[in-house]
Structure 1
């Protein structure tokens, strides 16, 4: 089982693909998302998002503000500002 993940900034799609899990910081604390996660809509805090892609090494993207939505194994993260300098893509 996997998640379909899409991370977008105002001007581009930053990362899109299948992942085993994802970790992000919301304004209420750190969350981990695995397949079959309950539906969720949360406001993002500033910090790193860690993605464990299917068949790849962990990717880290720094975000500032935005929101995360989880529904039916689809994760959409919309960030106000993204620093993907460490992204290995």
Structure 2
């Protein structure tokens, strides 16, 4: 399976940057899965849990405030006000 590059950005910092194989988010229309070679997309994300599978096969989750998702040419950018790993309090 192919890979995608992801950057999760907040006004304060780059929260996460790396290579993933799958991404699951919730936008204003519902749940959305992103796989390699997804068609170009820009959408509004609602406060929710974002889940992805990293290139090594590990699954990670984090919570986000509302935000924006951009997908183009296997590059994903998530812009949000706040986010934190699900394992954090």
CA–CA distance in structure 2, aligned partners of residues 34 and 24 of structure 1: 12
CA RMSD of superposed structures (Å): 1.2
Superposed CA deviations along residues 4-59 of structure 1, whole A, max 9, x for unmatched, are: 01111110111111001100111111100000000000000111000100014111
CA–CA distance in structure 2, aligned partners of residues 75 and 59 of structure 1: 16
The answer to whether the Cα contact below 8 Å between 1:60 and 1:84 also exists between their aligned partners in 2 is yes
- TM-score by length of structure 2 reads 0.91
When the two structures are aligned, how many residues end up with a matched partner? 87
Long gaps (5+) in structure 2: none
Runs of 4+ aligned residues of structure 1 deviating over 3 Å after TM superposition are none
Q: Which residue of 1 aligns with 2:61?
A: 60
- TM-score by length of structure 1 reads 0.91
